[in-house]
Amino acid sequence: MASPKPAVARKPARGASETRDFLLLLVKLLLFMFLLRAFVVAPFNIPSESMQPRLLVGDYLLAAKWPYGYSNYATPFGIPLIPGRILARAPDRGDVVIFRAPPGNDTDYIKRVIGLPGDSIQMRGGQVILNGVPVPRARLADFILPISPNSPCYDARYEDAAAALCRYPRYRETLPGGRSYAVLDMGGTTADDTGVYVVPAGHLFLMGDNRDRSADSRFPAMAGGGIGFVPQDNLVGEALVTVFSTDGSAEWLKPWTWVSAARWTRIGDGF
């Protein structure tokens, strides 16, 4: 009687092995990208003029995810992985933050932190009154912006049609502690004079730098409107650096316009 032959392990076919290795690499890459976007940095683009002059329509920026802690708002697509908020830290006045608001709206917003919990804020003649003290505001040279598809002139009073430019009155605000930044204010709107807002515990008072074209904490929270007081738990991240900007004039079928449409001098601007 012949003895049974020992079993010999068969190597998988070369094609099947390469496919398995490729799929494994793809899964690792997707996991890495998910963790990077959820916990380190994430890209955002600017769709409105509410943060001019610092941010223009067509700017693309990276936001740091770690400064204020993590919640489900920080995860891609809002995947519920984090109970509550971990490693939470309050922002500083003057920080430019990305957040989710108002309730029922899945859109990310970007504004500047003006008021912290317990602060009182009021607008008088377009000037911020913080805890009863006017925030210093100095007139600067007009902000001049070339008119383009991404940057039409939103106020005809300041349009220079012959030169295809728009001029906006610009001011320098300086918060307590020395943090300063430029704002735009054409004046003469209902939001230039308000009552006193007192920021509740766990919330923030946020404003756009383009004061006459920003639906911010001066207005009640509603979808497509103001944002009211924003819960700190709604923070997604802090603006880090501008990585690209386009004036919107590029055409897909004309590759040379991809270069001419780029606002190269804005790339690398930090916050």
For residues 157 and 186, is the Cβ–Cβ distance under 8 A? yes
Residue 111 appears among annotated catalytic residues: yes
Residue 50 appears among annotated catalytic residues: yes
Backbone angles phi, psi at 202, to 5 degrees: 75, 10
Determine which one of 65, 71, 111, 214 is catalytic: 111
Q: What angle do CA 195, 198, 199 make, to 5 degrees?
A: 135
Distance between CA atoms of residues 154 and 53, nearest Å: 13
Contacts with 208 (C-beta within 8 Å, 6 or more apart), sequence order: 50, 51, 111, 112, 214, 215, 216
Determine which one of 50, 71, 148, 151 is catalytic: 50
58 φψ region: left (φ > 0), alpha (ψ -120 to 50), beta (else): left
Neighbours of 101 (CB within 10 A): 25
Instruction: Kindly list the catalytic residues.
Output: 50, 111
